[in-house]
Amino acid sequence: MTKPRPSYAQKLAVIKRQQNGATWREALAAEGVNVTIRTAQRWAQLEREQGAGGARDQRGGVKWKVTPSLRHWIVETCEGAPELSSNELQQRIVDAWGIEVSRAHLNRVRGEEGVRRQKKSTAPD
């Protein structure tokens, strides 16, 4: 089980304790933060170099691209043109919405919504 990441307030409390005379080890223990001394030193360095907020967690994570409205649009588009390949659908999303969604995610949405691609007929004329 992973431990929760220290909050920005906890990071600042550790830095403040160290600045008030505690060792890094004492400051970390007093605040109940379980990270290495080097990590705490990096927080302090970020606060010094970047100013207030420098030690905030900068990770953004994956953006939620397929909003309910985009999901609805995908379903309508696939129902209106069931022969669309994932590549073609992907390009239509870029053109209409200005975002890129992976083919794997598009296929997952299609599966969840029950809209499958129907391959184009290759029967001779």
**Percent of residues, the chain, with pLDDT higher than 70:** 89
**How far does Cα 99 stand from its chain's mean position?**
15
> Domain check: are 45 and 72 in the same one?
no
Residue whose entry in the numeric block shows the structure tokens 């994570």: 61
**How far does Cα 111 stand from its chain's mean position?**
23
**What pLDDT, on a 0 to 100 scale, did the predictor assign at position 60?**
60
Average pLDDT, rounded, for the chain? 88
**Percent of residues, the chain, with pLDDT higher than 90:** 56
> Domain check: are 44 and 75 in the same one?
no
| Phi, psi (rounded to 5 degrees) for 9 | -60, -40
Domain total in the chain: 2
Tell me which residue range forms the domain holding 79.
68-113
Residues 41-98: tens digit of each pLDDT: 999 999 999 888 888 877 665 556 788 899 999 999 999 998 999 999 999 999 999 9
**What pLDDT, on a 0 to 100 scale, did the predictor assign at position 53?**
85
**What pLDDT, on a 0 to 100 scale, did the predictor assign at position 116?**
85
Tell me whether residue 20 is in a domain.
Answer: yes
How far apart (Å, rounded) are the C-alpha atoms in residues 85 and 74? Answer: 12
**What pLDDT, on a 0 to 100 scale, did the predictor assign at position 118?**
82
> Domain check: are 74 and 37 in the same one?
no
Examine the pLDDT at 110 and tell me if it is beyond 60.
yes
